[in-house]
Structure 1
C-alpha cells in the first residue's frame, strides 16, 4: 500500500511508541523536525516521530496557489468553507500511517496523533473517529473545521487531548482554540487547554509542556 511521504526520526533504541505529527498549510514534514531534540525525551521512552508531507493542491483562500495542504479552504467560515472530501482523504491517509505503525509493532494505544494549524483539524478528525484506542491527541494553534462531518468512534471516547494556542496568533486567532475546546467539551471529551504569548508558532515553554504531556500519555 502506498503511504504519504514522511520525514521519520527514529530513537536510539527500538521504538516503543509513535507520534504522527501533521504540519500546517504551506509547510511540509520538515517543519517540526527540529523540535524532536528540543523535547529532551528520556532514553527510556523511545519514540518514533513521523512527519508526513501533505499533497500539493490549489488553495482557494490563497488565490488558488498550489501549495502543500491537507484540504482546500474557500473562505473564513470554517464550518462551510472547507472541502470535506479533502478532509476525509487526509484522514484516510493518516489512518494508513497508523496502520503501518501497527504493522511495525507499535500497538495503537501507543500512538499519538498531533497536528499544527490545518494539520490539527486532520488530527482531530482522524483521532476521534479511529476505531482503535489511541494514546493521545495534540492540537497546536489549530481549529476544528467541519465538525458536523465527524463520525466519532467510542474507542476514543476517553482519549487524552491537549489543545495549545498562542494568544497573539494572527493566522488562527485564539478564539479558534477556545471554540475547539468548547466543541470537544460539548461532545463529551475533556481536553486540556493552555495558551502562550506567541504568534502562529511554537515557543520553548510550549515545547517543554509537549514533552511533559507526551511522557504522561506514553
Structure 2
C-alpha cells in the first residue's frame, strides 16, 4: 500500500478524493488547496494524497524521484511506459479497495490528479470495475489511449470527467490535453473542459471551478 497523507473530515467520512501529485512532487503538493475549495464545513470528504514510488526517470538523466511512471523522451506521449502506468493504476485500485473497507463505496470516490498523477487518474478511472463519482484530471493527458476501447469499464462509461489545462503549458502541451479530451468524448465520455491563461500549474479560478465540481459530485451542493 502506498504511503499517503490523509485529511479527515470533521464528521464521519462518507466520500473520498484520492488525489495524485505530479512528477517529482509528493503527497503534500495539493494539501493546501483543500481549504480553498469552498467545501461546506460538514462535507464528510476524506482527502487521500498518496506518494508515488521513487524511480529513475529517463528524461531527467535517470535521476531517482517520485514518479508514477517513467518518461522516456521529450514527447511525453511517445514511448510510453505501459508497465509503469499499469503498476501505478494497480496501486490506485488498492487505495480504492481500502476506502471500500472503510465504508466509502466507489460511487462516492473521486480520482484526481495533476500532470502524471492526472494521467494515472484517467487511466485507472475509466477502467475501474465499479462506477466512480468522478475523475478530475489537471494539466494532463490520457495515457495508453489506444487501449481504451478494449479496456474501458462499462460501469464508468457515464462517469463525470473534468479536465483543466493551461493555455501556455510548456510541460504537457495543451494540444495533447485537447487530443485526450477529444478521444474521450469520441468514446462517449462526459468531459467538462476548462482552459486557463497559465503554464503548468493551478490558478484561483480553476480551484474555484473544481471546488464547485467536487461539491456537486460529493456533497450535492
Q: Which residue of 1 aligns with 2:6?
A: 8
SS at match of 1:210: helix
Question: In the alignment, which residue of structure 1 is the partner of 2:67?
Answer: 69
In 2, the alpha carbon distance for the partners of 1:9 and 1:57 equals 26
For residue 89 of structure 1, the aligned residue among 87, 90, 94 is 87
Q: Take 2:109 and 2:182, find their aligned partners in 1: how far apart are those partners? A: 25
* Residue in structure 2 matched with residue 39 of structure 1 by the alignment: 37
Post-superposition, which runs of at least 4 consecutive aligned residues in structure 1 deviate over 4 A?
none
Name the residue aligned to 1:170: 170
How much does 1:78 deviate? 4.1
For residues 45 and 104 of structure 1, what CA distance do their matches in structure 2 show? 17
C-alpha deviations, 1:35-64, integer Å up to 9, x for none? 011112102321100000000111111111
> What is the distance in 2 between the residues matched to 1:46 and 1:204?
23
Distance in structure 1 (CA, Å) of the matches to 2:74 and 2:119 = 15
The TM-score with structure 2 as length reference comes to 0.95
Q: TM-score, normalised by structure 1?
A: 0.96
Map 1:50-199; keep pairs closer than 5 Å: 50-150=48-148, 151-199=151-199
Unaligned runs of 5+ in 1: none
What residue number does 1:200 align with? 200
Displacement of 1:118 in angstroms is 0.5
SS in 2 for 1:34: helix
CA contact (8 A) 1:13 1:43 kept: no
Alpha carbons 1:78, 1:146 under 8 Å: kept: no
* 8 Å CA contact retained: 1:80, 1:146: no
**Aligned partner of residue 97 in structure 1, secondary structure:** helix
> What secondary structure, in the 3-state scheme, does the structure 1 residue paired with 2:135 have?
strand
Contact 2:139–2:177 (CA under 8 A) maintained in structure 1? yes
